[in-house]
Structure 1
């Protein structure tokens, strides 16, 4: 493959995740750039098989630049869309200013367009970089309010551990067969990021409710922050709250709560990154939304 004029001495590669040394080189790039360890995915079966990575490597095999696309199907206002997410964009300092990042982005965008993706989505702390490519920022909101009346008797619940093989096997099954947590805006399936985000944030707790639903949550200062609910059906918030058995005064739901049989007041979400999208499907979004923190990428 022919690279950009600024890539002399580099090797352009794509779809290289099945090559362990190349995967390890990307792990090193992201560790050095962002201090994140995506090698944690290896304990959950490896990276997302839908990934479409594009990278430049030097003659020693070091990854000096990368930009990846992956399949991230979404439901928006009850309709399913074939969406592409973009992640793992990085360039080593000594190779910046040569157009490598722009070149890899354009290759990834061309790939997803050719494969018929209807919507592009990314999270970034540099939104101006992507506005020139037609991406728009969509403000995110949490949905806050008092707890509902709890269900009686409380349904069965127990903690889940990513280190327990049986728990991990059960979680994979539930995540692969999950219903979208919202009809208004939600991922249809993204198992790999769910596991990775649970590893990155030690404050996230995972609980199995009614033997068939994973609840990802945090609790601080009598506030329950509900991050995600994954399973073949979405229980009402009253069922979830009763199962967790907390002294809750306030609930913050980090996704549109239309399937929870509960209404919350939208409040701006103060995050470090902006949610950006492009494509005709984004025009269907006409109200407050939030991408579950368990689907962040």
Structure 2
């Protein structure tokens, strides 16, 4: 394409260690994040498909990726994809590379028969031209139910511990969606990466219930971010597994499975959710922060 002289187009290249490292470096240099930590967490999402340009020295100068993001929406399984890792090195901007890679990714998703496409961005106008629309996300805040007295407090996990990492990976592979209204059904890599990126996130494991709760204290606010279990328990059981004495709780996903209701408060994220596709949504809704991409 014009503007790509001296570059090599590559697609689906994660099996090449040097090319994967090129993407790691691009994202680190652009956003200051180290997705290379996925190497010790089990590797990148095997459903990912990257679209990129590399220069003659093997440097990744532009990339746009997609990955399978199966969801349940209003009780129905939905075939969805997420877009991520979009970046162009400064010296290569203004040549149409990003637009070219986006269009390649969008065409691939369309040919694969995806029903819904999602992305997170702080530049919504860039994607509105391609039919994406912004969707408001909400957290749910209310009085904490009394914790179940028969449930023992769980222990904190450490993902630097190989045993804890293996345990977390096992549960992520067989998890139930946190909501029937709007939730991912599989996205283990982003859960692990989110936990590593944010040192304030805690993972509590209950051996008796075989579940993991991702939670944090945001100032004085107690937040339940995600629950990884084969079957979702009520919020009273979740709070007992954490061992919290909080009187108020904020749940960061639709609480329809929790036996509890909270006031819906619009989330104000740095990067907002956008979607494209003919799928009916039940509001209010939100992705768990652990499913962020």
Q: Same fold (TM over 0.5)?
A: yes
Q: Which of 246, 252, 255 is matched with 1:254 structurally?
A: 252
| Kept in 2: contact 1:222–1:247 (CA 8 A) | no
1:216 is matched with which residue?
A: 214
What TM-score, normalized by structure 2, do the two folds share? 0.98
1:150 is matched with which residue?
A: 147
1:90 is matched with which residue?
A: 87
| Kept in 2: contact 1:141–1:254 (CA 8 A) | yes
1:132 is matched with which residue?
A: 129
Separation in 2, partners of 1:155, 1:126: 45
Separation in 2, partners of 1:223, 1:101: 39
Question: Matched residue of 1:153: which SS?
Answer: coil
Question: Matched residue of 1:8: which SS?
Answer: coil
Matched, 1:179 2:176: yes
Task: Please list the CA deviations of residues 154-176 of structure 1 after superposition, one character each: whole Å capped at 9, or x if unmatched.
Answer: 33511111011111111111100
1:107 is matched with which residue?
A: 104
Matched, 1:279 2:277: yes
Separation in 2, partners of 1:15, 1:184: 32
Separation in 1, partners of 2:112, 2:179: 26
Matched, 1:170 2:164: no
Q: How far did residue 196 of structure 1 move?
A: 0.3
Q: How far did residue 153 of structure 1 move?
A: 2.3
What TM-score, normalized by structure 1, do the two folds share? 0.96
Task: Please list the CA deviations of residues 250-295 of structure 1 after superposition, one character each: whole Å capped at 9, or x if unmatched.
Answer: 11100000011100110011110110001012xx113111110001
Separation in 1, partners of 2:243, 2:164: 21
Provide the alpha-carbon RMSD of the alignment.
1.0
Question: Matched residue of 1:121: which SS?
Answer: strand
1:243 is matched with which residue?
A: 241
1:200 is matched with which residue?
A: 197
Aligned positions of 1:1-20 closer than 5 A: 4-20=1-17
| Kept in 1: contact 2:205–2:213 (CA 8 A) | yes
Task: State the number of aligned residues.
Answer: 292
Question: Matched residue of 2:3: which SS?
Answer: helix
Task: Please list the CA deviations of residues 42-89 of structure 1 after superposition, one character each: whole Å capped at 9, or x if unmatched.
Answer: 001110000010000000000000000110001101001110100000
Q: Which of 289, 293, 297 is matched with 2:289 structurally?
A: 293
Question: Matched residue of 2:215: which SS?
Answer: strand
Task: Please list the CA deviations of residues 119-168 of structure 1 after superposition, one character each: whole Å capped at 9, or x if unmatched.
Answer: 10000000000001000100011000010022112335111110111111
| Change in 2 beyond 3 A, CA 1:5/1:108 | same
Task: Please list the CA deviations of residues 222-255 of structure 1 after superposition, one character each: whole Å capped at 9, or x if unmatched.
Answer: 5320000011011110011122222202111000
2:261 is matched with which residue?
A: 263
Aligned positions of 1:50-65 closer than 5 A: 50-65=47-62
Superposition misfits of 4+ residues, deviation over 3 angstroms: none
| Kept in 2: contact 1:222–1:248 (CA 8 A) | no
1:25 is matched with which residue?
A: 22
| Change in 2 beyond 3 A, CA 1:245/1:66 | same
| Kept in 1: contact 2:153–2:242 (CA 8 A) | no
> Which stretch of structure 1 is more off in the superposition, 135-144 or 238-247?
238-247
Q: Which runs of 5+ in 2 are unaligned?
A: none
Task: Please list the CA deviations of residues 175-219 of structure 1 after superposition, one character each: whole Å capped at 9, or x if unmatched.
Answer: 000000000000000000000000110000001123411100002
Q: Which of 217, 230, 234 is matched with 2:232 structurally?
A: 234
